[in-house]
Structure 1
Amino acid sequence: MGAARHVACYQRWTAGQEAGLGELEASSANAAAGRATDGELRAVVERCMRGYAEYVSTRRALAREDGAALFAPPWCTSFENSVLWIGGCRPSLTIRLLYSLSGEGLEEHIEEFISGRGALGAARGMGLLGITARQLELVNDLHRRTLRDEDALSDRLATLQEDVADRPLLPIVRERATAAAAALGAGASCDGLATRTRLVVATPEGAVDHEVDAAIGRYKAGLGRLLEEADELRMSTAQTLVTEILTPRQAVETLVAAKQLHLKVRSWSRRGEAAVTQPARSPVTLPPAPSSNP
């Protein structure tokens, strides 16, 4: 039942991405033709971000039920899972996307601006999106903060993963292994040890084990908390970028590219995996080699 809710959440999100992309592309075309005002474009961006906020809210509830299920979800392709960071894309990916959209020339301007080797006019627009020097300064500051927060969450995830080799799981594993070995040995004559051993060994494989379930549950809860914070960072980074730094038209173009990237990567990776899992073709029977005898 829980897995079905996770899958349904993702399917609704993907359907929303497709619908949102259509609206954003139409708005982009209208803006290019001069048929859309900043107010209209801003309303489209706000609707897009509301959909994202609703998705994050739903995932928060699911993460509290089973956070581990969202770290390598089976409804995603193996390629999609390989690029996930704490159950989703890296928050800084949105900023990297903006840099890419703005063109190769913008990267040179960024390096010059950060190092102080270049002077950028305050009103000068750069790249395909027309990013100004002031916007670039704000984006760079957001990027630094986002990377710092990503690193902090990554460190906490590493600690949580390393804790698998410590309490509470390791003592349980060692205790069960010792008890099982004692049960098989001929010297387990102590009544207390024998009684304890019988209790441990008598638990069949796959049976309910409350002690183990509680220990694993603690790890899942920790993963769920990390995922909630990662989702909030993803949301706040995108929100700051498209509603506080970029103009409405720049925000629309950035969101169009983000949704296109997500949907195309999913489509292409699904196609690739489908090809790999197709039944192998029947081997081709080659004709016998010609005899070397005259």
Structure 2
Amino acid sequence: MDMERGAACYRQWIAGQEAGLAELEAALANAGATDAELRAVVERCMRGYQDYVAGRRAVSPHDGTAFIAPPWCTAFERSVLWLGGCRPTVAIRLLYNLSGEGLEAQLEELINGLGPMGPLPVGSMGITPGQMVLVTDLHRRTLLQENVLSDRLATLHEDIADQPLFPIVRQRAAAAAQPRAGGGDCDGPVGPPGGAGRGAVDAEVDAAFNSYRAAMAQLVAEADDLRMATARAMATEILTPRQAVEMLAAAKQLHLSVRDWSCRAEGAQPQPNGPRVVPANGTSAAARRNP
């Protein structure tokens, strides 16, 4: 894999994340934005992720190994990656946390008789009970799909100790232990039993590695599809346009903040523009529920 092209693709993605966050922030600050305008912002955000996935697949269509632990990420970032990105359920967990913001204060006002009487509080984001049912169902289905991919990844890891690599390892070990012909030292490569040269065995190793890389690329591609499907389901099927903008802004803020903080902690080069805090939306909770 061309590591420089891979790193350049990621740098472009980070720049796109920053630009996307700025657009999402502007949309949140515009209380008069229509649903159509907000949907357009959401769609551009979705398209940005699709473009990134397509770009990195083009860099290495048959080798997914570099994306499992990409060297252009920090050690902390690599430690929390799942098949080349975040777990799809992390986005759902983020939405759970967002939906609870402001809920405690609203409940306290209701209990103390300080707030207006009416429907039960739904938090500052305005997630309704009906929406939460849909989110919970999506969470359940996504978790099942995650587990299937994780099991396949575990099987791929275990295959390292099986056919075809392990027999080659044993064959080479046996060949190295055989007395050299003629009893003298020889600087040349020792072939495996049966007269095959080292080159023939290397061809087998290359074939096994290429098969592993291709299988990993397939897993990363399926994980990307699941990430995209989960985010799109929340942003376009469950949430209102304004809620979707708020969720996507929070996701980008989290990503860029973790990137920046881990770069600084590890002495790496942080992003030129530090993460921006998503400004509080000046609209009321009722306005959030009815953008």
So what's the TM-score if we normalise by structure 2? 0.79
- Which residue in the other structure is 1:23 paired with? 23
- Which residue in the other structure is 1:126 paired with? 122
Confirm whether residue 52 of structure 1 aligns to residue 45 of structure 2: no
> Displacement, 1:7?
1.0
Letter of the aligned partner of 1:159 in structure 2? T
Unmatched 5+ residue regions in structure 2? 105-118, 184-189, 269-291
Q: Distance in 2 between matches of 1:59 and 1:124?
A: 46
Confirm whether residue 159 of structure 1 aligns to residue 155 of structure 2: yes
Kindly indicate which of the two structures has a greater share of residues assigned to helix. 1
Q: Work out whether residues 160 and 166 of structure 2, in 8 Å CA contact, stay in contact via their aligned partners in 1.
A: yes
Q: Work out whether residues 63 and 227 of structure 1, in 8 Å CA contact, stay in contact via their aligned partners in 2.
A: no
> Displacement, 1:211?
1.6
Identity %: 63
Unmatched 5+ residue regions in structure 1? 108-122, 188-193, 276-294
Map Cα deviations across residues 189-236 of structure 1 (whole Å, 9 max, x no partner): xxxxx9755966866xxx992221111111111111000000000000
> Displacement, 1:64?
2.3
> Displacement, 1:8?
1.4
- Which residue in the other structure is 1:233 paired with? 226
Q: Work out whether residues 180 and 201 of structure 1, in 8 Å CA contact, stay in contact via their aligned partners in 2.
A: no
Letter of the aligned partner of 2:151 in structure 1? D
Match of 1:41 among 20, 38, 41: 38
Q: How many residues align?
A: 248
Distance 1:125 1:244, change over 3 A: farther
Q: Distance in 2 between matches of 1:195 and 1:40?
A: 68
Q: Distance in 1 between matches of 2:173 and 2:155?
A: 25
Distance 1:168 1:196, change over 3 A: closer
Q: CA RMSD in A?
A: 2.5
Q: Work out whether residues 68 and 224 of structure 1, in 8 Å CA contact, stay in contact via their aligned partners in 2.
A: yes
Map Cα deviations across residues 146-199 of structure 1 (whole Å, 9 max, x no partner): 000000000000001000000010011111111111145999xxxxxx975596
Q: Work out whether residues 101 and 125 of structure 2, in 8 Å CA contact, stay in contact via their aligned partners in 1.
A: no
Match of 2:79 among 70, 77, 82: 82
Between 59-68 and 78-87, the greater mean CA deviation after superposition: 59-68
Match of 2:262 among 266, 269, 273: 269
Q: Work out whether residues 171 and 192 of structure 2, in 8 Å CA contact, stay in contact via their aligned partners in 1.
A: no
Q: Distance in 1 between matches of 2:101 and 2:156?
A: 39
- Which residue in the other structure is 2:6 paired with? 6
> Displacement, 1:260?
0.4
Structure label with greater radius of gyration: 1
Q: Work out whether residues 70 and 87 of structure 1, in 8 Å CA contact, stay in contact via their aligned partners in 2.
A: yes
Q: Distance in 1 between matches of 2:103 and 2:166?
A: 51
Q: Distance in 2 between matches of 1:176 and 1:159?
A: 25
Q: Work out whether residues 13 and 55 of structure 1, in 8 Å CA contact, stay in contact via their aligned partners in 2.
A: yes
- Which residue in the other structure is 2:174 paired with? 178
Q: Distance in 2 between matches of 1:86 and 1:177?
A: 33
